[in-house]
Amino acid sequence: MTTVQTFIHVRGLRLAWIDFGGAGTPILALHGHFGRARTFATLAADLAPDYRVIALEQRAHGHSGRGDGDLSQDAYVADAAEFVRRLGLGPLIVLGHSMGGVTAFHLAARHPELVRALIVEEGGADNRPPHIPHPVLDVSDWPRRTATLAELRGRIEAYGIPDAGYFLESAVEHPDGWGLLFDYDDMMASQQALVGDWWAQWLGSACPALLVHGLDSFVLPTAMARQMAERRPNTVLRELPGCGHWVHDEDPTAFARAVREFLDTLERPGTNA
């Protein structure tokens, strides 16, 4: 399975993406804040060969450009919509984690012709206090450079991050030491832009949807996840014990199983089954 990163120009912006390959049913995968396209490598392997995961590295993340600095949900959604059109794969299944999940259900509401099913991992319909006590992770004073990767991990974890592995997907060695690819000010601005009431967008599509929730999550409250499933028709909720916000990392086997079980209920393109 290939994990080669390539680039595409979308809306005047150079975006990185990974096509994990195969001839299976395509799935567009959208990472969350601080994430990378390659975070979906394990899921892609677990779903192959029946499904072909195509992961977009969203603006201001990883090796993608930041453009004019617009980090609104509108910008992320417009990028994803044009990316799908450029590849000519719509309507397709769209999977997103956290911010990527919010982008996914915005995309389904705004462009139903591009999305035939949704998989949302830990993306909430109301990202405001007091529903979400701390919707913004303050990274403004995280280390810019360290002498070693181990030091970078230790200093990030010293801020109360139990496992910096997710963030270290963006770690690279620069001439002056180890640092993260994303700009800290950009990440603060992007998180602030995600703070809002997104119920209208969550309820704005009718395609089949899977909502995956980690019962130990500090980001998506269980009560909200259950309300999201109850209020939106054609939605399945899977609650995974022992998992927090990063379900795909914390229990990749259970996550892949939940995703595949949902996918297997969908009508395959070109069939009447």
**pLDDT value for 9:** 96
Q: Token match 């929730």: residue?
A: 213
**Residue 170 in domain:** no
**pLDDT value for 210:** 98
**Residue 232 in domain:** yes
Beta strands in the chain (DSSP E): 5-10, 13-19, 25-30, 51-57, 92-97, 115-121, 171-174, 177-180, 209-214, 235-240
**pLDDT value for 162:** 86
**Residue 151 in domain:** no
**Residue 152 in domain:** no
Chunked mean pLDDT (size 10), the chain, 273 residues = 84 96 95 97 96 97 94 97 95 98 98 98 96 92 97 96 93 97 97 98 98 96 98 98 96 98 85 40
**Residue 22 in domain:** yes
* Boundaries of domain holding 209: 5-132+195-263
**Residue 54 in domain:** yes
Q: Token match 């450079």: residue?
A: 145
Using CA atoms, how far apart are residues 121 and 114, in angstroms rounded to an integer?
19
**Residue 144 in domain:** no
**pLDDT value for 90:** 86
Rounded to two decimals, what is the model's pTM?
0.96
**Residue 177 in domain:** no
Number of domain units in the chain: 1
The domain spanning residue 249 has which CATH number?
Answer: 3.40.50.1820
